[in-house]
Amino acid sequence: MPAEIKVPTLGESVTTATIARWLKQPGETVAADEPVVELETDKVSVEVAAPSAGTLGTHEVAEGDEVAVGALLAIVDGQGAASGPAPAKAPPAAEPAPQAASPARPQPAAAPVATSSGQTGGIQPPRAPSGPVARPATPPADVERDGHAPLPAAQKMMTERGVAASAVGEGTGKDGRITKGDVLAFLEQPQAKAAPAAPKPAAAPVRQDDPREERVKMTRLRKTIANRLKEAQNNAAILTTFNEVDMSAAMAMRAEYKEAFEKKHNGARLGFMSIFVRACVAALKEFPAVNAEINGDDVIYREFVHMGIAVGGPNGLVVPVLRDADRMSFAEIEGSIAGFGKRAREGALKLDELTGGTFSITNGGIYGSLMSTPILNPPQSAILGMHKIQERPIAVKGQVVIRPMMYIALSYDHRIIDGKEAVSFLVRVKEGVEDPRRLLLGL
């Protein structure tokens, strides 16, 4: 029995998707639960599988088309034959022969049909009756529908000055027609002078591609990322503050407890992200405005932390969310982040894993970035940027020493977060990472 393949439910607030690519072609055999088509939403890519085994029928939509939830994508014929086009409809029954016209009442003559040359063609018009024919009076060609069309001299002046007849109103001429004097009187009124017509914008020049260039259409995910980043710049008053962190203590703790940590927590590796997440959680509790958001004329404060962790995937940057990060242990944080990275590379992140974040962390240091100004992830009000750890000479108690240092940056929405709060927040993060014991003791 044929089975329909439809667009599945795509998650919260997602109602459409784009056909990224067909994985199976019409006529190919498919197994039950085998991926047939890949959809791309604003957030992730989703594979849609065949509901049963059989032969795939015709693609109902093409690659690049936008489809709504519930739309039909294809049909799987369980009998093993590809579903072909619908059978041709039976020809309509022959129409009965027309009955003889009743002689009781003569039929009116058909109206003449105008041809492209302006002459009449087809059925010829009947002869004119011998008596006089009443014809409707036709207004002069220059009379407008409003009944006060300008006279020729007035029309010329109005065209030159960019004045509309409706602006002048009813004229003083015969039948209310606008005269040149009416136009002059209108132009003498300072508040009524018509502004010169704005010049039409020049058409954008067509770009000539070089033969050595390749033009590739932006994916839906990339367009969404671009729109959201531009939205953040347009709507928020973004400011960035910087600090630097001495990573010596964090690196020493990691080196000392790395093996024991992995053994106790089933292979979970102790990294720096869990330390930064816990340091941010502690600072967010102290400065709740950094974890809040603006909603219309209101500010929404939260008593929980949903921490977004920026992860690079094959189609671009995505930000999966650690829900209730303030309740998670170091091991739970490390395990969740490792899982996010693996699923992001495989394109297997779920939609509900990418929504609801209240604060985000991005780590450009894994790519070698020494310093940057991260952009907010709307509707969040702040984001922390981590960077490359680099040994640098610094002064410690009057002595120049070499330490592994990292620059950190906090971009924040100045509409809701004051500079004092932002700087103090970043100082708390610095203190927590430089002395991880503070995090364990809740200091």
Supply the angle between the helices 419-434 and 273-286 in degrees, to the nearest 10: 140
Residues sharing a CB contact under 8 Å with residue 362, sequence separation 6 or more, in sequence order? 310, 374, 383, 384, 385, 386
DSSP H or E stretch at residue 413:
strand 399-413
Is 414 marked active-site? yes
Of the residues 209, 297, 418, 435, only one is catalytic, namely: 418
CA–CA distances in Å: residue 10 to residues 30, 47, 123, 350, 352:
23, 11, 60, 9, 9
Residues 410/422, Cβ–Cβ less than 8 Å:
yes
Residue environment code for 99-125, b if the CB has 16+ CB neighbours within 10 A, otherwise e? eeeeeeeeeeeeeeeeeeeeeeeeeee
DSSP designation for 150: B
Of the residues 77, 148, 414, 435, only one is catalytic, namely: 414
Is 418 marked active-site? yes
Query: What are the phi and psi torsion angles at 243 (to 5°)?
Result: -155, 175
Q: Which two tokens stand for residue 329?
A: 């242990």
**Cis, bond preceding 140 (omega within 30 deg of 0):** no
d(CA 273, CA 276): 5
Positions annotated as catalytic residues are 414, 418
